[in-house]
Structure 1
Amino acid sequence: MPLVRIDLVRGRAPEEVRRLADTVQEVMLDVFAAPPGDRYQVIHQHDAGEIIAEDTGLGIERTDGVTIIQVTQQGRGREQKEALYAALAKRLDEEGLVRPTDLIVSVVRNEPEDWSFGHGRAQFLTGEL
């Protein structure tokens, strides 16, 4: 059940934002083996200057196209995470949506008890999922 938050600078056309979200979802299905119909994305657009992303001493030059993708998930190991980073960079670049130097990805781990999908119940714990 990956929960994906996509933060980007305001100014893209709605169709482009949707293509970006769709491409991220394709990677979730292909690389993270998310089940079909398992799509949880929050897209937040920020005014210019509201995303501050320095290069951490890596010599990366970022533009206003900087995009931060945070994936909250459970059960993926190092190999899947590294495959996720590579696939997102490749596919978003191929689609002309995000340059690899403008992409920052963070994966956050959580546990089954950290999810409720509605009705105030922890469906992973109750056996509903």
Structure 2
Amino acid sequence: MPFTRIALRAGKPAAYRQALTQGIQRALIAEFNVPEDDIFMAITEHDESNFFYGRNFLDIQRSDDLVMIQLAVTNSRSEEQKKALYRRIVDNLAESPGVRREDVFINLVEVLKENWSFGNGIAQYAL
């Protein structure tokens, strides 16, 4: 059960934000074998005074269209699966809504299965 946070500059239309969630979800389905209805995402929009990033960190030229994606997932995927997920997300978002590849920043947080709760106060595993 991935949990995804997406942060971006304020002002993008609803269709753009929806394309972000759809592109990320398609990548999760394809590369992590996540069930189609296993979607938990939150988008936060930030004005210029609340959105900071290194424009040239690691010699990558970023713009104000930067999309920061943080995924919390169980720690059950291989390095190859993670790399495939990153590539698929970047490819999907480049296709729609048209995010430059340099403007996709992904942070993967791995969580032990026993640290998930699904709404009833006790950990349950959706295996």
**8 Å contact 2:20–2:97 — kept in the other structure?**
no
Structure 1 counterpart of 2:117, one-letter code: S
TM-score (norm 2): 0.91
Structure 1 counterpart of 2:19, one-letter code: R
Matched, 1:93 2:94: yes
Q: Which 5+ residue runs of structure 1 have no aligned equivalent?
A: none
Structure 1 counterpart of 2:107, one-letter code: S
Q: Which residue does 1:60 correspond to in 2?
A: 60
Q: Deviations over 1:40-73 (max 9, x none)?
A: 11111111242222133x2211111000111111
Structure 1 counterpart of 2:81, one-letter code: Q
Q: Which residue does 1:48 correspond to in 2?
A: 48
Q: Which residue does 2:69 correspond to in 1?
A: 69
Distance 2:2 2:66 in 1: 22
**8 Å contact 1:20–1:92 — kept in the other structure?**
yes
Matched, 1:30 2:14: no
The number of residue pairs the alignment matches comes to: 125
Distance 2:118 2:88 in 1: 28
**8 Å contact 1:20–1:97 — kept in the other structure?**
no
% identical aligned pairs: 34
Q: CA deviation at 1:89?
A: 1.1
